[in-house]
């Protein structure tokens, strides 16, 4: 089956940056001479990661994975990352997997997407493509063929033409995958993010929740709580994209006003050392010096036992990102 590839503003109904350049993966043959690697080699201990045990996968449930892959082409060219992606599909067997920051452009999207689908033959794919700038942003969603999909919509939030959201409607829930704009160097986009994106996101999720509960996953480019920042006391934190007081407060406002729950913190409230992003320029993955920028948010009704579909588990899958950058997140729901 051919993948669905849509530029922003297009939508399809089914019949049934962003980060700074430092985040990009280095070639696998490059030497690891970062400050973090040197510190680890000299005996500096990494920040301990608290245990976050997961129950067995629920029968007849729904499992959603999100992963900022920092370029689909680079993932497919890397034997290591490609193998990790295949292991993720085999081990976790997600019903839906969202891939943010794929960086595909329209001329090359179909070929690259087809190559990926050779690794994910049990899935159909949908791709939102950035047309404002080539090789930038983008969101892809793979959906198991056996799942009954009501509809799929692209870029319903803040029409930036950057391919930042895909909504998949199932019979009893909306799954929204998003790649929130980074406020950028010198916080050049912070007003767009706080003043336009966040309010439009709140309004959109609120509309969806009037019909069905929502599971919102993605790279949200904000570290909400102090324990989501490895060096929260550092002077630059309040001035850095993703950790400014304005961004953190706006994220909290979204949770409060829309009635969304941070699934990871709901189940693992005070655990520390649990991050989803590590700077590869600094080699911070060697010392577990990270930020939690990637989230699984669910409607409050999915945690208060008022619906037959309920939150079951949520975790951060560090093992799939040994070289740093972003790791996948996973959220599981169960039907009771």
**pLDDT tens-digit map of 241-259:** 999 999 999 999 999 999 9
Q: How far apart, in whole angstroms, are the C-alpha atoms of residue 228 and residue 226?
A: 5
Q: Give pTM, 2 decimals.
A: 0.92
Does any domain span residue 185? Answer: yes
Does any domain span residue 21? Answer: no
Q: Give the pLDDT of residue 53.
A: 96
Check 155, 219, 294, 325 and give the catalytic one.
219
Q: How far apart, in whole angstroms, are the C-alpha atoms of residue 288 and residue 290?
A: 6
Does any domain span residue 143? Answer: yes
Q: Give the pLDDT of residue 128.
A: 96
Q: How far is CA 314 from CA 215, 233, 269, in A?
A: 12, 28, 12
Q: Give the pLDDT of residue 114.
A: 94
pLDDT band at residue 8 under the 50/70/90 scheme = low
- pLDDT over 90 (residue 170): yes
Q: Give the pLDDT of residue 108.
A: 84
Contact (CB, 8 A) for 221 and 293: yes
Q: Into how many domains does the chain fold? A: 1
Q: Give the pLDDT of residue 77.
A: 96
Q: How far apart, in whole angstroms, are the C-alpha atoms of residue 280 and residue 79?
A: 19
Does any domain span residue 30? Answer: no
Q: What is the CATH number of the domain that holds 299?
A: 3.60.10.10
- Which residues 6+ apart lie within 8 Å of 130 measured at CB? 8, 103, 105, 136, 137, 138, 161, 162, 163, 164
pLDDT band at residue 302 under the 50/70/90 scheme = very high
219 is catalytic: yes
Contact (CB, 8 A) for 257 and 27: no
186 is catalytic: no
The predicted model gives 119-131 an average pLDDT of: 97
pLDDT band at residue 107 under the 50/70/90 scheme = confident
Considering just the CA atoms, what is the radius of gyration of the chain in Å? 19
Give me the phi and psi of 80, to 5 degrees please. Answer: -65, -50
pLDDT band at residue 324 under the 50/70/90 scheme = confident
Does any domain span residue 29? Answer: no
- The residue that leads in pLDDT, 63 or 6, is 63
Q: Give the pLDDT of residue 314.
A: 98
Question: Is 83 exposed, middle or buried (CB count within 10 Å of its CB: 0-12, 13-18, 19+)?
Answer: exposed
Check 174, 179, 295, 320 and give the catalytic one.
179
Residue (of 245, 240, 251) closest to 277 by Cα position: 240
224: left (phi over 0), alpha (psi -120 to 50) or beta: alpha
**Token pair listed for 23:** 């985040």
The predicted model gives 218-224 an average pLDDT of: 98
Domain that holds residue 255: 4-8+58-335
Q: How far apart, in whole angstroms, are the C-alpha atoms of residue 23 and residue 326?
A: 9
Does any domain span residue 25? Answer: no
Q: Give the pLDDT of residue 18.
A: 43
């Amino acid at each position: 089956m051919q993948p669905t590839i849509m530029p922003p503003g297009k939508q399809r109904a089914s019949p049934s940056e962003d980060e700074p350049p430092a985040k990009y993966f280095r070639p696998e043959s490059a030497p690891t001479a970062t400050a973090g690697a040197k510190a680890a080699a000299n005996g500096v201990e990494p920040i301990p990661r608290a245990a976050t045990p997961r129950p067995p996968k629920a029968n007849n449930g729904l499992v959603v994975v999100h992963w900022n892959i920092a370029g689909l082409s680079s993932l497919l060219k890397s034997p290591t990352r490609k193998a990790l992606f295949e292991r993720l599909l085999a081990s976790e067997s997600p019903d839906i997997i969202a891939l943010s920051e794929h960086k595909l452009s329209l001329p090359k999207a179909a070929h690259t997407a087809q190559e990926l689908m050779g690794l994910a033959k049990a899935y159909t794919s949908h791709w939102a493509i950035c047309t404002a700038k080539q090789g930038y942003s983008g969101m892809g969603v793979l959906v198991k063929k056996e799942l009954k999909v009501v509809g799929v919509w692209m870029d319903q939030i803040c029409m930036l033409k950057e391919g930042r959201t895909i909504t998949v409607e199932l019979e009893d829930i909306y799954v929204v995958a998003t790649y929130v704009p980074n406020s950028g160097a010198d916080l050049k986009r912070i007003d767009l993010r706080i003043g336009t994106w966040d309010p439009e996101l709140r309004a959109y999720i609120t509309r969806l929740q009037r019909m069905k509960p929502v599971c919102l996953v993605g790279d949200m480019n904000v570290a909400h709580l102090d324990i989501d920042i490895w060096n929260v006391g550092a002077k630059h934190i309040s001035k850095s994209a993703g950790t400014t007081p304005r961004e953190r407060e706006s994220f909290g406002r979204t949770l409060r006003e829309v009635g969304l729950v941070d699934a990871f913190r709901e189940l693992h409230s005070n655990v520390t050392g649990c991050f989803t992003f590590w700077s590869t320029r600094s080699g911070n993955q060697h010392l577990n010096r990270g930020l939690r920028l990637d989230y699984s948010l669910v409607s409050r009704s999915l945690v208060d036992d008022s619906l037959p579909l309920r939150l079951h588990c949520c975790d951060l899958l560090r093992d799939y990102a040994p070289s740093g950058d972003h790791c996948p997140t996973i959220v599981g729901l169960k039907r009771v």
